[in-house]
Every structure is written in structure tokens, then in C-alpha cells.
Chains A and B, each alone.
Chain A
Amino acid sequence: MANTPDYSWPPMGQRKVIGQRVKRLDGPVKATGRAKYASDTKPSGMLYGAYVACPHAHAKVTSVDTSEAEKMPGVKAVHVMAPAGTEIQWQGWEVAAVAALTEMQARDAARRIKVAYEAMPHLVHEEDLSKAGANARKGSEQKGGDADQAFQQAEAVSDGQYGFPVITHCCLESHGSVVQWQGETASAWPSTQDVTGYAGQLAASLKIPATNIKVQMDYVGGGFGSKFSPGAWATVAANLSQKAGGRPVRLFLDRQMEQTIAGNRPSAFAKIKIAGKKDGTITAWDSASWGSGGFQPGGPPPQPYVFVNIPNYRRVHTGVSLNVGPSQAWRAPGNQAASYLTCCAMEDFAAKIGMDPIEVFRKNVNYAQPAFQERYQFQLSKAAELAEWKKLWHPRGQSGAAPVKRGLGVAVGTWGGRGHASNCRTTIHPDGSVLVEIGTQDLGTGTRTIITQVAAESLGLPVGAVKLEIGRSDQPRDGASGGSSTVGGVSTSTRKSAVNALEKLFEAAAPALSALPEQLEAVDGKIQVKGSPAKSLTWKEACRKLGTASIAEMGSFNGRNDGAGLSSEGAAGVQIADVSVDTETGLVSINRYVAVQDCGTVINPKLAESQVYGAIIMGISTALFEERIMDRQTGHMLNADMEFYKLAGIGDVGDIVVHMDIRPENDSKGVIGLGEPPAIPICAAVGNAVANAIGVRVAHLPMTPEHVLNTLEGRNA
């Protein structure tokens, strides 16, 4: 057996395609509307599905009468998921569904399904823990060191309250799929973050072999962590399809249901005290937090965050069960809340002792994991420089007499981002054409582009010479795109697959060059002898040596250790918000937002920056506008739309400055995922900037006129 090839990345200065600012390969088809999403799929004979959703937050179904709906024009199937006796735990719970020839017919018929309920008491609010009653479940207190003594002996103690509301994912393409179920086989066109895992999960509910389920998805219109599983909707679509004689059924949530039941980010509220010295050294942490992930209350965000080794601590968390739609992972689950609670409490401590918060962060950086300490020091400096911190920062509240006040705030984030298990197949044909296949998905992160760049780099070809196919269940298995695991996974498997295929090509080409295969290299579209570039074949000439036999070589990564340093984990970032607050109206606007972020080896700096821009736009939207508004009387989500569920527009996000920390010591770590890391610190940085501007902490996100003016005017929010 030959020696294991050298899979490691070429040295930084010698890369030809990796590290280039290649434009997103699917940009033109997406921008022109030629890209077809799952919700655009229209297989022949397709029916449209519509749901009947429960209008109560907590109720028992007493009867379901579908007789009138079944007689409606165009109706081909009716399916009841919540028969009499079902106890429903949130508004929007799917009770029944209809498939009909047109969407309007399906909706009209769904409205004629008569469901009777016995309403039951509900709880939909958790911000006031004293009203949660038996729905509040207090966890056990966790302690370390001697917090009591540290607080008693502290030179300074700060305390504050912080509130981080539930927000929704707002996927522009709602959750759903087109499914065709014909006896022992099924086809699915889902909107999913997990093409590879989809068939297996759907098979479990349809009770047919996963091998008989074909899955295809070319483009997905947003997931952010909420589209890992086929969801009940795929099973319902399949049942409707079967009942309709095997015709495909399109079942996507409407906007109201999307906002209500398709996933949300849990809330987090906390009372936090910090003890420390006047030189900025923190000595103790004390937090009592609570929050809700829905009917399942969920756990606490990690606290303290990043500064994990504060020696004395005490923390307790209470989870609250609510009659609301279930939470789903939301771009770095737990981490935005953790960053908000920790970084806001630290900024309050800095204000208490009259110190610059960046100096307080620096002073305590030794509480961070050792591998991150130097990086945070560097990134704090870099972010401060880009934000003109020295010039623009002022002690809290010292922002002049004019009604519009400017403030700066800092926050930090960290994330693992190790690649998931991934398999790739590279096929080199005798005509020189190259096909790369992975059963992965591009969530809009640029996955297509970076796979192609890795393959092109590895084969010594330009990007345009590599054809890529992704998004099908019959391709080599990849993993779910979540937790920033995709780029590490696919870049590693692609690299290995391409290098393996190239080895085979070297074997075929070596005799013609009177050389040994291991003496060859692929450079600039040529196969040449190392050290003697004059002895070369063009790529096509070399491929012709294959005769009629194509090369098809796999590359596999087990998700743990790739053996060549291709990928690893552990990203860090520092962000600074520069805001203006109109203290007469409470309006907060972003002047400039600075993000300094590392993610190991960067395959495409343009796409990496684009990921960071996207995360910050999304994060500013959550910091300034987004909140789920529940009505305590009806148990309804009142802003389950795109009108009063407010999302930032491009004019609302200010000037965003992104600096990728691509120092050689970071590059040498290998590829690390970037989806979550930059999405973490934004609420904290904006909240801190607002406090810095107006001189007082606005406890509750989002930073709306309501919350800002309530704080300034002394009303408890």
C-alpha cells in the first residue's frame, strides 16, 4: 500500500485558489430568480396542502368534523393529526391538513373543518418569574470557590438586571416540503439543513426503508438552525400524498404558522452581581437567571461566558414551561444570551469602578481558556483601533448635553466550529472534466463556492474547471449544516477526495513523463515533474492517459481528526458597536459596527466577510427590533407576521466594518466554521453602547423607544 498522501493545505503564500476572493458561484442564479428552491418545486400532478391550526394556547380537542371539507371542490385528501382527546399545548398546533388542486381550495377547505375545543388555562409570559407559578422549575445552585467571602471582601460590587426576549427565525422560505409517497417509495423536495440525514428521519415515520426515499434540495431559503429535521410537516405531506393516491403534495407553513410554531430562540433573563477590585480584576460572579424555550423550558445559557474561570461563583437557573411554540437552535444557541448576560454585567462592573470596559476585559482575559487569551488581547486592540475607541469612547453617560448621545460598547464571543463527518467523491474523466459530489447543502453561506475552490486548488485547476453537485440523498453522505460544521467537514473531505483522485491521475500520467507518480505535481492546469516544470502534460493530455476509465475517488472525514491539520475548532471574536441614541425619542441608530473575527484557515476571504456581514445585520435586527409578542389573555402570538415582527432593513444597520483575523498562527489551525461565531456578541455590544451613551442600563432587549424611554423616564419595563 502506498504511503498516505500529504493532504495538508499548501503553505499560505503558495495557494492559488484558496484564499482568493472568488465571487459566490450561485450568486447570479439567486439574484435573477433562476435558482429554484424547495418551495418552487412543482412536480407533475402536485397538490397544495393547507393546515388547520389550533387557535388556543392550551386546550383539549373534543371533536373534529371533516365532512364538509371533504366535499369541497378540488379536495383530494384530508388528514387529522390531533383527533378528539388530544391535549394541545400551544397556539398554532397542527390539528388537521387538507390537500387540494389549488392553494386557495386547500385553504378554503381547511377553514371548513370544524374543530371543537375545551379551552384550558395557559401561561405565555415568563419575564415576571413571580407569576410563573408551578410552570417555573428551579434548577440546583452551582457553586465554586467562596462567593460569599469574595462579595464581602470586594472593593466594588455591581449588580444589574438583563432581559433577552424570545425571537423567531423568520426564514424567508417557510418550513415545509413537497413529498410524494407511493407505496414503498417516496420522493421529498424539502427545505432542509440536512439533506443527508433527511431520508433516515422520514423513513422512521413512514416505516419504509430509507433507501427508498429520494431527497433533493438545490437551494434553501434560510434555516439558521430551525431546519434540521423533516418536522411533522413532512410526515403530514406524505400522509396526504398517500391518501391522494400518490400525487405529490406541497405543504409549507404560512407566515403566521412559520412565526408561531416553526422555531424560536429561547429567552434569558438574569439578575447578576459581580464583585471585584478597583483595578478591574473580577473576583466573584453571582447570577440568578430564568427563561423559556417553550413548553420544554430548556436550560441556562453558559455563564459566565468566555471568562469561564472566575474563581468564585454562584449561579442558579429557573426554566419556565410556556404554552408557546417550541424553540429551535438559533445561530449559536445559548451563546448570544450568554454573551449578552456576561458582557453587559461586565460593562456594568466597569462603569461601577469608573474603568474603560476594554481594560476590564483585558484585565480578566486570563479567566478565558488559555488557547484564547492571546487572541482576545489582539482582537480587543484591533477592534478598538478600527472603532477609534480611544478617540470616541467616554465614561458612561458623559456624552454631552445635546439630546442625541453617542456611545460605544464592546462584547466578545467564541464558538467551536469543528467540521462534521463528511464524504466526497471526485471523478476525473478522460476528457479532463472533473465532477465533485457531496450530499451537502449550501445554506447561503457559500458552501458551493468553497468546495469548488478546495477541489480546484487541490487539482491545480481554475475554479471554472470543476463541476460540483450537492443536495441529493444518493450522493456521498455529509452532515447537517449546523453549529458551523459544514465548512470544516466539506473542505476536509473534498481536499482528501481531490488529492486521492490526483494520485490516480499521477499514476496514469507518470510513464508518459518518464517519472514516478510521487515525483509529479499539478500546477496551473498542468501535470509536471517537481523541479522540472518543462517536463509536463497539460491537464487534458494527462487525463487522456486514462484511456476509457474514469477516476472516482472518495475522501472521508470522521468529524474528529483528519490527520493533516485540515480543520479544527475554536473561533474567537471581538465586536464594538458605535451608536447614537436620541434621548427625546428613544430611537437607537447604529453609526458603525466593528467585528474582528478569526476562523482558522480562510478559504475565501470575501465569503468569510460576507458571513460576518450577514451575522451582524441579523444581530442588529435582534438588538434593535425583534421580539415575539404574546398576548396573555388569548395566548396568541400577536406579531406573527412581517409587519409588527420588525426586521431591520439595509438602512437600519449602519456602517459595518469587518476584519478577518487571518494571522499565520490562526491560519495554521486549519479550517474552522464561521456561521455562528460572528452572530454572538451583537446584542451585548449594542446594549453596552446604549448604556454608555445614555448613562443607564436599558435592561431589556430590543433597544426600542419603548424600552429606552421607560428606562430614561424611570418606568419599570
Chain B
Amino acid sequence: MESFAYANPATVEEAVGQLAAQWGEADVLAGGTDLISLMKENLHAPRRVVNIKNIKALEGIRKTAAGLRIGALVTMDELAKSALVLAGYRALAEAAAGIPSPQIRHMGTVGGDLCQRPRCWYYRGGFGLLAMKDGKSLVPEGENKYHAIFGGGPAYFVSASSLGPALVALGAKVKLVSAKGAREVPVAQFFVTPKDGDTREIALRPDEILTEVVVPGAAVKSATYEVRQKTALDWPLATASVALEMNGTTVKSAKIVLGHVAPAPWDSPAAAHSLAGKQVTEATAEAAGKAAVADARPLSQNAYKVTLAKVAVKRALLNAVKG
């Protein structure tokens, strides 16, 4: 780990004043469950670390006219247990509760979950976001059992965010603040699939801080289903978050978003469309799952993830209507 300056601001204004226009100058520290590892591995070597944990304005979950406002410093554990979240945003609570590591649940924050770097072992091994060596990606001919089944490259990592798919399904936005002002970005656009090695996998700019997430208050039935091997620290193999706007017992409109299968949460309009006007049954859920993976292009070792994604969609749908 290289030496760095440490800033401990008390307000968002002070914090953004410590950031810079280029990546590499400063990194934001919240729970630290990812940044510390990145720094120890020298994947990130910021000159300044800006600790935002003392900024009270970034805490808390509350209801607003725009919907549920979730501060960036809310921990995954708070999110999973929040009565407000459990009452109307089950997909989100389940996504947070699914994180099996108590350390990450208690230290990891909503902002950190959305901004964490990919877990791709080539990225973590120092080969960059696109896993390049000698001008070509190591992934297609390499060890790709945990990599993307959608997107077709050149990025093959999967988004590590646990909350991303649920937030996309629920139509949430993030608020990004810099010294120049604030902007709101739909979570669906916050995640970016990089086409070159210089682009980040999120739309956050180096001089911005993600301050809050706003989830609209529409009445939907939602659920998240994760296929995960272990009950101890582990990453999902595939997940699905679904949000259903119901008309009686039939689906008026649906949003179906897969996780851990692409460089960004993978929205499947085809799966959603297949359900419109239908009841959610074993058969329609199965069909939606099939539709969700119709365009999957697995790599040499991850065809099994296509099955997992399909099953995750089916089970998330059935769970969502179970009440």
C-alpha cells in the first residue's frame, strides 16, 4: 500500500472539495470492505483517502414524496432489517439480506455496494477491467466459470453489486454530488459496460460522491432470488430481481433484472413482456426464465450459469407473488 493523505470531512461539501478531476487522485472510504483490499493489492493507490463515515447527512432511510430515500452510508444490515424497506421493497431487502458475510453486511454500505469494483480474478490479479494481456482478453480462453453470459465482450466481468439488479427493477435513481452541483441518474444508467480499458464500470465521475438512492413508491410485488453456494462469505453465481405491477391476479407490467451474469445488471424486457397480462404460475415463470436467457452467449466454462439465471428468474417470480 502506498502512502496516502487522509481526509475526514464532516459535510458533503467538504468531502467533494477533497476529490479530484481524475481517477487515481482520491478514493472515497465508507465501510472499507472493498477499498482496503484494493489498496493492499495496489489496484488502487490513491494519493488521498476521503473518509465519509462522519457525514451524518448520508445516513438513514426515510419516506419522501419521491419515494424511499436511502442514504449512501446505510449498511446492508440496516437495509435488510428496515421496516420501510421490508414493507414495500422486498426485492431490495432480500438482496441485502442475501449477503452471507456478517462483516460485509454490517460494514458494507449502500453506496459502497454500488461503487465496488468487480471481483473478476483477472481484474484483481492486475490485468485491468478488460483482463488484457498481450492485446487480448484472457477471459474467453481462460478460467471463466464465474464470468458474464451476456454482453459478448470486450468486458466479461460481472457486476459485483448485490443491490444493483433490485434497484434497476424498482426503477431507482442515485444522486451524485460534486463541487459543481448534483445530478440524478437512474440506476439502470449508473452501471456502464466499458468498451475500453479506460472507462469505469459506473457512471460516477472522479469528482463525485454517491450520496443517496431514491426508490419510487409505486405499489409493486417484488423479490430477489440468488443462487449462491455457501452460507459463509461467498458471491452469488446468478441472481434475479423482479418487480411486478399487478392488476388483480395478473401482471400489468413487469421488470426482470438479472445479476452476476453481465458487466451491469441485465434487464430483460423479453422476460418481462412474456408475463404481461398473465398470472404468475410455474409455467409462466418458467417461460419468463427461458425468455430471459434466450440471448445468453455463455463462454467456454459457464454454460451452467444460463440454467442458474433461468431458475433464478422463475423462483424470484414465484416468490414475488407468494406474498
- The verdict on A172 contacting chain B, using a C-beta distance below 8 Å, is no
The one of A111, A633, A651 in contact with B141, judged by C-beta atoms closer than 8 angstroms, is A633
Of the listed stretches A36-44, A377-385, A390-398, A705-713, name the one at the interface; the rest are far from the partner chain. A705-713
- The verdict on B229 contacting chain A, using a C-beta distance below 8 Å, is yes
Whole-angstrom CA separation of A650 from B141 in the bound complex: 35
- The verdict on B185 contacting chain A, using a C-beta distance below 8 Å, is no
Q: Let me know if B229 and A649 touch, CB within 8 A.
A: no
Least CB distance, B36 to chain A, in whole angstroms: 13
Q: Let me know if B138 and A631 touch, CB within 8 A.
A: yes
CB-CB under 8 A from A625, the residues of chain B are: 229-230
Q: Let me know if B301 and A638 touch, CB within 8 A.
A: no
Q: Let me know if B303 and A634 touch, CB within 8 A.
A: no
The one of A631, A644, A709 in contact with B146, judged by C-beta atoms closer than 8 angstroms, is A644
Q: Let me know if A638 and B227 touch, CB within 8 A.
A: no
Residue with the greatest number of chain B CB neighbours at <10 A, chosen from A632, A646, A652, A705: A705
Q: Let me know if B230 and A649 touch, CB within 8 A.
A: yes
Whole-angstrom CA separation of A711 from B125 in the bound complex: 30
Q: A633-B138, A705-B237 are in contact. Are A651 and B229 (CB under 8 A)?
A: no
Least CB distance, A110 to chain B, in whole angstroms: 11
Least CB distance, B101 to chain A, in whole angstroms: 9
CB-CB under 8 A from A651, the residues of chain B are: 100, 230-232
Least CB distance, B69 to chain A, in whole angstroms: 32
Interface size of B as a range:
20 to 34
CB-CB under 8 A from A624, the residues of chain B are: 229
Q: A634-B133, A639-B121, A713-B304 are in contact. Are A648 and B146 (CB under 8 A)?
A: no
CB-CB under 8 A from B231, the residues of chain A are: 649, 651-652
- The verdict on B152 contacting chain A, using a C-beta distance below 8 Å, is no
Least CB distance, B173 to chain A, in whole angstroms: 31
Whole-angstrom CA separation of A108 from B234 in the bound complex: 30
Q: Let me know if A632 and B121 touch, CB within 8 A.
A: no
CB-CB under 8 A from B227, the residues of chain A are: 585, 587, 705
In chain B, positions 302-319 with a C-beta closer than 8 Å to chain A are 302-304, 307-308, 311
Whole-angstrom CA separation of A705 from B307 in the bound complex: 10
CB-CB under 8 A from A128, the residues of chain B are: none
For residue B310, which residue of chain A has the nearest CB? A584
- The verdict on A508 contacting chain B, using a C-beta distance below 8 Å, is no
For residue A713, which residue of chain B has the nearest CB? B307
Whole-angstrom CA separation of A649 from B101 in the bound complex: 10
For residue A256, which residue of chain B has the nearest CB? B41
- The verdict on B198 contacting chain A, using a C-beta distance below 8 Å, is no
CB-CB under 8 A from A648, the residues of chain B are: 230, 232
In chain B, positions 277-309 with a C-beta closer than 8 Å to chain A are 301-304, 307-308
Interface flags, A628-671, vs B, CB<8A=1, else 0: 01111110101101111011111110000000000000000000
- The verdict on A34 contacting chain B, using a C-beta distance below 8 Å, is no
- The verdict on A301 contacting chain B, using a C-beta distance below 8 Å, is no
Whole-angstrom CA separation of A706 from B227 in the bound complex: 12
Q: Let me know if A709 and B230 touch, CB within 8 A.
A: no
For residue A632, which residue of chain B has the nearest CB? B142
- The verdict on B196 contacting chain A, using a C-beta distance below 8 Å, is no
CB-CB under 8 A from A587, the residues of chain B are: 227, 229
Q: Let me know if B1 and A107 touch, CB within 8 A.
A: yes
In chain B, positions 218-246 with a C-beta closer than 8 Å to chain A are 227, 229-235, 237
Whole-angstrom CA separation of A643 from B133 in the bound complex: 24
For residue A125, which residue of chain B has the nearest CB? B143
Q: Let me know if A646 and B138 touch, CB within 8 A.
A: no
- The verdict on B189 contacting chain A, using a C-beta distance below 8 Å, is no
Least CB distance, A370 to chain B, in whole angstroms: 43
Q: Let me know if B303 and A643 touch, CB within 8 A.
A: no
Q: A633-B133, A649-B231, A649-B233 are in contact. Are A586 and B142 (CB under 8 A)?
A: no
- The verdict on B200 contacting chain A, using a C-beta distance below 8 Å, is no
Residue with the greatest number of chain B CB neighbours at <10 A, chosen from A630, A633, A643, A704: A633
Q: A643-B119, A648-B230 are in contact. Are A584 and B145 (CB under 8 A)?
A: no
- The verdict on A715 contacting chain B, using a C-beta distance below 8 Å, is yes
For residue B237, which residue of chain A has the nearest CB? A705
Q: Let me know if B1 and A104 touch, CB within 8 A.
A: yes
Q: Let me know if A709 and B304 touch, CB within 8 A.
A: yes
In chain A, positions 660-717 with a C-beta closer than 8 Å to chain B are 704-706, 709-710, 713, 715
- The verdict on B42 contacting chain A, using a C-beta distance below 8 Å, is yes
Whole-angstrom CA separation of A607 from B201 in the bound complex: 51
Q: Let me know if A584 and B311 touch, CB within 8 A.
A: yes
Whole-angstrom CA separation of A650 from B230 in the bound complex: 10
Whole-angstrom CA separation of A651 from B100 in the bound complex: 10
In chain B, positions 20-65 with a C-beta closer than 8 Å to chain A are 42
Interface flags, A106-134, vs B, CB<8A=1, else 0: 01100100000000000000000000000
Interface flags, A591-634, vs B, CB<8A=1, else 0: 00000000000000000000000000000000011000111111
Whole-angstrom CA separation of A641 from B138 in the bound complex: 20
Q: Let me know if B121 and A586 touch, CB within 8 A.
A: no
CB-CB under 8 A from B141, the residues of chain A are: 632-633
Whole-angstrom CA separation of A539 from B307 in the bound complex: 72
In chain A, positions 86-114 with a C-beta closer than 8 Å to chain B are 104, 107-108, 111
For residue A642, which residue of chain B has the nearest CB? B233
For residue B41, which residue of chain A has the nearest CB? A256
CB-CB under 8 A from A642, the residues of chain B are: 233
Least CB distance, A202 to chain B, in whole angstroms: 31
Q: Let me know if A705 and B138 touch, CB within 8 A.
A: no
Residue with the greatest number of chain A CB neighbours at <10 A, chosen from B1, B121, B231, B304: B304
Q: Let me know if B303 and A710 touch, CB within 8 A.
A: yes
The one of B138, B143, B235, B304 in contact with A586, judged by C-beta atoms closer than 8 angstroms, is B304
CB-CB under 8 A from A633, the residues of chain B are: 133, 138, 141-142
Q: Let me know if B234 and A646 touch, CB within 8 A.
A: yes
Q: Let me know if B232 and A111 touch, CB within 8 A.
A: no
For residue B134, which residue of chain A has the nearest CB? A633
Q: Let me know if B143 and A629 touch, CB within 8 A.
A: yes
Whole-angstrom CA separation of A90 from B25 in the bound complex: 35
For residue B121, which residue of chain A has the nearest CB? A638
Q: A107-B1, A625-B230, A634-B138 are in contact. Are A585 and B308 (CB under 8 A)?
A: yes
CB-CB under 8 A from A107, the residues of chain B are: 1
In chain B, positions 99-143 with a C-beta closer than 8 Å to chain A are 100, 119, 121-122, 124-125, 127, 133, 138, 141-143
Whole-angstrom CA separation of A647 from B231 in the bound complex: 10
Residue with the greatest number of chain B CB neighbours at <10 A, chosen from A585, A624, A646, A710: A585
CB-CB under 8 A from B133, the residues of chain A are: 633-634
Whole-angstrom CA separation of A101 from B304 in the bound complex: 50
The one of B42, B232, B307 in contact with A647, judged by C-beta atoms closer than 8 angstroms, is B232
Q: Let me know if B2 and A108 touch, CB within 8 A.
A: yes
For residue B124, which residue of chain A has the nearest CB? A641
Whole-angstrom CA separation of A648 from B122 in the bound complex: 24
Least CB distance, B298 to chain A, in whole angstroms: 10
Whole-angstrom CA separation of A104 from B40 in the bound complex: 10
Q: Let me know if A584 and B229 touch, CB within 8 A.
A: no
Whole-angstrom CA separation of A111 from B233 in the bound complex: 30
For residue B2, which residue of chain A has the nearest CB? A108
Q: Let me know if B138 and A652 touch, CB within 8 A.
A: no
The one of B42, B229, B307 in contact with A646, judged by C-beta atoms closer than 8 angstroms, is B229
Q: Let me know if B232 and A584 touch, CB within 8 A.
A: no
Least CB distance, B131 to chain A, in whole angstroms: 10
Whole-angstrom CA separation of A215 from B239 in the bound complex: 52
The one of A584, A585, A646, A715 in contact with B303, judged by C-beta atoms closer than 8 angstroms, is A715
Known: A108-B2, A710-B304. 5 other contacts (CB 8 A): A625-B230, A629-B143, A631-B122, A632-B141, A706-B302
- 28 residue pairs A–B, Cβ–Cβ below 8 Å: A111-B42, A585-B308, A585-B311, A586-B308, A625-B229, A631-B122, A631-B143, A632-B142, A632-B143, A633-B133, A634-B138, A643-B119, A643-B233, A644-B146, A646-B234, A650-B232, A651-B100, A652-B231, A652-B232, A705-B227, A705-B229, A705-B304, A706-B301, A709-B304, A709-B307, A710-B303, A713-B304, A715-B304
Q: Which 8 A-B pairs give the minimum distances between C-beta atoms?
A: A649-B232, A651-B231, A709-B304, A638-B121, A584-B311, A706-B304, A585-B227, A652-B231
Interface residues of chain B, those whose CB is within 8 Å of chain A, are 1-2, 42, 100, 119, 121-122, 124-125, 127, 133, 138, 141-143, 145-146, 227, 229-235, 237, 301-304, 307-308, 311
